[in-house]
Every structure is written in structure tokens, then in C-alpha cells.
Amino acid sequence: MADVQLSKSLSWLLRHNAHKLGLRLTSDGYVPVDTVIALNHPRFRKKGRPLYTTEDVVRVVENNNKQRFRLEMLVFDDESESVLCIRANQGHSLKGIESDELLTRLTDEVLSGSDLLIIHGTTRKAWEEHIRQEGLSRMKRNHIHFATGLPEKTGNDEGPRPISGMRSTSEIYIYIDGKKCAGDGVPFYRSDNGVILTAGVNEKGILPTSYFDKVVYAPSGKVLWGRGIEKKSNAC
């Protein structure tokens, strides 16, 4: 349970709240681990003592099933020697994180290739209420997230096996037309943990429905929308 809480706190900090707590990150999202565990915040300190050690952070990073974080030995600020640093691999809403430094940009050849699946998982409610009319939005984050496959069934009561870039509880699968995206110059990236990301095509961070290849209702496998198929309101 402590490891789960630490993982959640690291995501909360490194993706969204580092600047609010006075931390300075590199342009690719790194901050020293020692600085993180020394934070004077209830998520990291209790009764004046740190809740976690460097060993705790290393263990959580190594055991995270979605590989949300990365550790590197880096020279930070004016330090003469390298120190252990950590970053979130994706999912940021922080400003100042540069996509081309944090992520690997996909070439047009890779993006338009038939081997690459680009799938966004969402809820039926989100599809019905706004996505089918407006497209996908990055909302408060820097990017829209996609997986390169679907959650695998485990054959037990634990539900589908998690896959980076998609919630295992997703009800709607939106497949993206990578070839059209490449042709129109829409930039896509891959994170260190295999998530595909794009900031969208305009300042609002929208990927319009014109870039959708097909939309599938996960429980039944029914195609709700595709080339030549009307964007239906009924997902059953």
C-alpha cells in the first residue's frame, strides 16, 4: 500500500505540481530524487520526517507495471557530480516541459505505417457527450494519450492487464488514422514507456474526428463509427 501511495504522489508531483512546490525541473522533466523526498508536504513528510527513502523511490520506479517514471544520473544545476534524478515519462500538465526533449517524435514513415496502432480509450459517456462531435481534447494536460494495443484479458477476476496509455476500464476504443495525421503534419510522439502522444492540431489541443479511423464499443466489439458510417449516438 505504501508503494502505491508513493507512486501516486510521484505522479501528482512530477506531472502536475512540481512548480507549485518550488521545484525546478529540466526541460525534459527531471528533478533530483533527494529534493523530492525532502519536500515539506504532507504527501512526502509526516511529523517533520520524510515518509520515503531513495531506496523506496527506486523500488517503486523499477516495479511500476506501466513504467510511469525514469531514473537517471545527471549533473543538476551547479553540482560538480551527477545525482540521481527522476521524471515522469508522460502525462504532464506542467509548462516548460519540451516535447522534443521528453519524447521521441515519430517519423512520417512510422506514423503512416500499417504496423502502428494508435488507440485512445475512453468512456461511453465522454464519447456520447462531446468526443463524437468535437474530437479528442488534451484538456489540462500537454498531450492526448494513446496506446499501441488493447488491454489483454487475464482470464481471472482481476480484469484486463494494464497497458500504458489506456485505462483498462475503457468502454470506447478510438482508432486514429496515422497516415492522414502524417500527411497533414500532425506531430505524434512516443514516450519511454511506449505511450503515443499528440498535442492536437490547434491551440485548444483538439484532434478532430476527421483523424479518426474507426470507433469501437469495447464490450460488444461493435463498430460505432468509421469511414462511411454515421457517428451514431447509441453505443449499444
CB 10 within 8 A of CB 56: no
Residue matched to cell numbers 529534493: 35
Domain regions of the chain by residue span? 2-99, 104-226
CA-wise closest residue to 7 among 45, 85, 59, 83: 59
Predicted confidence at residue 151, as pLDDT, reads 85
Q: Element (H or E) spanning 101, and its range? A: helix 99-102
Q: Given the DSSP bridges, would you call strands 31-32 and 83-88 parallel, antiparallel or unpaired?
A: antiparallel
Rounded Cα distance, 11 and 170, in Å: 21
Predicted confidence at residue 160, as pLDDT, reads 60
Predicted confidence at residue 168, as pLDDT, reads 86
Question: Which CATH code for domain 104-226?
Answer: 3.20.170.30
Q: What is each CA distance from 77 to 42, 50, 170, 198, in whole angstroms?
A: 26, 23, 41, 30
CB 92 within 8 A of CB 142: yes
pLDDT-derived band of residue 196, with 50, 70 and 90 as boundaries?
very high
Indicate if the pLDDT at residue 157 is higher than 60. no
Residues 157-176, buried b or exposed e (16+ Cβ, 10 A)?
eeebeebbbbebebbbbbbb
Predicted confidence at residue 161, as pLDDT, reads 60
Top-level class of domain 2-99: mainly alpha
pLDDT-derived band of residue 164, with 50, 70 and 90 as boundaries?
confident
The count of other CB atoms within 10 Å of the CB of residue 26 is 18
Rounded Cα distance, 20 and 134, in Å: 32
Q: Do domains 2-99 and 104-226 have the same CATH topology?
A: no
How does pLDDT run across 81-119, given as a tens digit for each residue? 899 999 999 999 999 999 999 999 999 999 999 899 999
Predicted confidence at residue 234, as pLDDT, reads 52
Length of the chain: 236
The count of other CB atoms within 10 Å of the CB of residue 193 is 17
CB 196 within 8 A of CB 188: yes
How does pLDDT run across 17-49, given as a tens digit for each residue? 999 999 999 999 999 999 999 999 999 999 999
How does pLDDT run across 219-234, given as a tens digit for each residue? 999 999 887 665 554 5
Rounded Cα distance, 38 and 120, in Å: 37
